[in-house]
Amino acid sequence: MIKEEYKQMSCSDIGTRCGFQVRAKSGDEIMEHAKMHATKAQGMKEVWPETEMKIKAAIKTVSVDMSESVPKESILTTRQDFKFK
């Protein structure tokens, strides 16, 4: 089993009721995606420094099993398949 470390951030971790989750190799990439998500999916006009800090604080390191059938290039995933009702 090959495990690699990734950074991961979930919207629910910052108190948002949505299933958005992003994984990337660096915290910077996470920020990019999280900001994009905040403006597009959640209709924020801009990401306030407070929100940015919340996102940063919510980023955690996870180890991903690379033997899962996920191609390396697409390990950066955004999941919105589970929604709150």
Q: Is there binding between residue 18 and Zn ion (CB under 5 A)?
A: yes
Least distance in angstroms from the C-beta of 11 to Zn ion: 3
Smaller CB distance to Zn ion: residue 6 or 20? 20
- Binding part of the chain for Zn ion, among 1-9, 10-18, 46-54, 71-79 by CB under 5 A, reads 10-18
Rounded CA separation 48/79 (Å): 23
Among 8, 9, 11, 55, binds Zn ion (CB under 5 A): 11
Rounded CA separation 14/42 (Å): 13
Rounded CA separation 80/55 (Å): 17
